[in-house]
Amino acid sequence: MKPYYIIFSYLIILILLVSCGQNPGLGEPTPAQEISPPTSKATDLEPGWWNETVFYEIFVRSYKDSDGDGIGDFNGITEMLDYLNDGDPSTSDDLGITGIWLMPSTESPSYHGYDVVDYYKVEQDYGTKEDFLRLVEEAHKRGIQVIVDLVLNHTSTENPWFEASDSGDPEYRDWYIWSKDNPGYLGPWGEQVWYQGQEGYYYAVFWSGMPDLNLTNPEVTDEIYDITSYWLTEMNVDGFRLDAIRHFVENGAAQENTADTHLWLQGFHDYYKSIDQEVFTVGEAWTDTAKVVEYIGDEVDIAFEFDLASSFMTAAYGPIASAATNQLKITLENYPENQYGTFLTNHDQNRVMSVLGGDAQKASLAAVMMLTSPGVPFIYYGEEIGMTGKKPDEDIRLPMQWRGDEPGAGFTSGTPWRSIAANYPEANVLTESSQPDSLLNLYRSLIHLRNDHAALQSGKTLILDAGTQRMYAILRYDETEGFLVLVNVHPRDLTSKLYQLSTTNWPLPSDYQVSVVYGLEDPELPQITPEGVLENYLPYPAIPAESFVILHFHP
């Protein structure tokens, strides 16, 4: 998807809400039926398998080319599965990934795949149906769950459904959103959304080549249910990343987060859970926390927490950590426990290393905050080696850098579909694997630590008062253990005069021992009152500049 979350969105919506509704068939726009939003949302959800999972987002075109044509493919991913997870829990040289999200893998005319031509065919550039099925089978052998992008808001103009709709075919006319005349209003971020067709104007919130499906049409919904069943039962995937869910059903100029959208998703949720209660969905609702949380539980299992992601990046950049601390508090107060997706950046955003000015240490701090955080983590491919990339979109989706000693960076033996990033001789898997203090090895260690401890996967979270805005301080814990995470984002050391840890509800027994996971040796033990009060705890006389500490509390 093209990025669209900008500061003027809400002003524009307020101005345009007075506009009339739209008729999905050919004719004048008419007001849509007003449906009340859900009156209650789940506040306490049972953890699912996804709460024990670390996901890895893969752009198939850019991950690994197996046949030398310069385009990544399913067989290439299969070749590299042992890098993600070799299936042997006794080894630690794999990344430890237990779930992969494949960006669009269906037939499409574009390089990115978000404009689908055929939902029942895999992208021919990436291989065959048999190649895809083998990838899923090999992933499952290694304990890796597989979810795929399911693009339901829109299709390509080259999709046969739209071609028939555009030509006036009565069977497909109402599969898209049409108006006899141009209604004239703009989209959620001030963009054109009505485009001239053969007869009338069609609605497309993202661009003219991706017309929106009319999800109020029961025939369209039935077709989507068939597509969902196909991917679950014939393609053997474990769930879906649902693109652009806040735009599913428009109500005139109200084009996002409508009550109709919530109702449609509730029905979709009931359908996919009827196939298998273990089916998982993560929704992309690129908006603020208060609106995202409305989708959780009975619509999608989790949704991406964009505000928390940006706060991690802000804090890692420094010199103040309070952005992350404050947003984490808001997140904990609003969501069902652990039921949201955490990340740093994704395929629509400038890459972590570019945002942080190429500073690997700052990238390390961001990784620590994200991978010890509550929620379900998602890592964008190449993030673990510090790949760079700034928009346009193609340049934040560049080929994976496997090695630095050949022109194709180990991605391809041919000419890559887009040039490799300039930092590939230093930032690559082969080089960083041999460097104990590399970003890659930090990611490996953090993911394995999370995989090995339920307290980090689905445990509770306590935010501590650090006595300073320069430090991020949380405790992740369950009934058996706890992990104290301290991140000094400031370019100066934090001495005992500048920080101290306090809380009135320390949840762990006072006789627990402390072991160092990361940080200096010989930390001081905390003094905890019988009432659970912790005051002025200083595990070390000083915590070095732009560094982190992880302490393990255990019997």
Residue among 246, 242, 239, 270 nearest 260 (CA): 246
Q: Is 265 helix (H, G, I), strand (E, B) or coil?
A: helix
By the 10 Å C-beta count (0-12 exposed, 13-18 middle, 19+ buried), 514 is classed as middle
Give catalytic status of residue 284 as yes or no: yes
d(CA 176, CA 203): 8
Query: Strand 494-495 and strand 178-179: pairing?
Result: unpaired
Closest to 258 in 3D by CA, of 243, 244, 269, 247:
247
Contact 336, 43 (CB under 8 A): yes
- The neighbouring-strand residues paired with 240 are 148, 281
Q: Are 47 and 338 in contact (CB under 8 A)?
A: yes
- How far, rounded to the nearest angstrom, does the alpha carbon of residue 393 sit from its chain's CA centroid? 16
**Phi-psi group of 498: left, alpha or beta (phi > 0 → left; psi -120 to 50 → alpha; rest → beta):** alpha
Answer yes or no: 394 catalytic: no
Omega of the bond leading into 319 within 30 degrees of 0 (cis): yes
The string of DSSP letters for 321-375 reads: -HHHHHHHHHHHHHSSTT-SEE-S--TTS--HHHHTTT-HHHHHHHHHHHHTSSS
CB 57 within 8 A of CB 379: yes
Is residue 440 classed as helix, strand or coil in its secondary structure? helix
Identify the CA nearest to 460 among candidates 435, 440, 480: 480
What is the residue type of 453? H
Annotated catalytic residue within 94, 107, 123, 243? 243
Please tell me which residue in 115, 149, 284, 546 is annotated as part of the active site.
Answer: 284
User: What does the alpha-carbon distance between residue 505 and residue 461 come to, in Å, rounded to a whole number?
Assistant: 12
Unique residue bearing structure tokens 């930390």: 523
Residue 226: how many CB atoms within 10 A of its CB?
11
Q: How far apart are CA 543 and CA 456, in angstroms?
A: 23
Which structure tokens are listed for 156?
């390509």
Q: How far is CA 141 from CA 59, 72, 78, 281, in A?
A: 22, 22, 11, 22
Task: Supply 258's token pair.
Answer: 């409508």
Cα 218 to chain centroid distance, Å, stands at 30
Active site residues: 243, 284
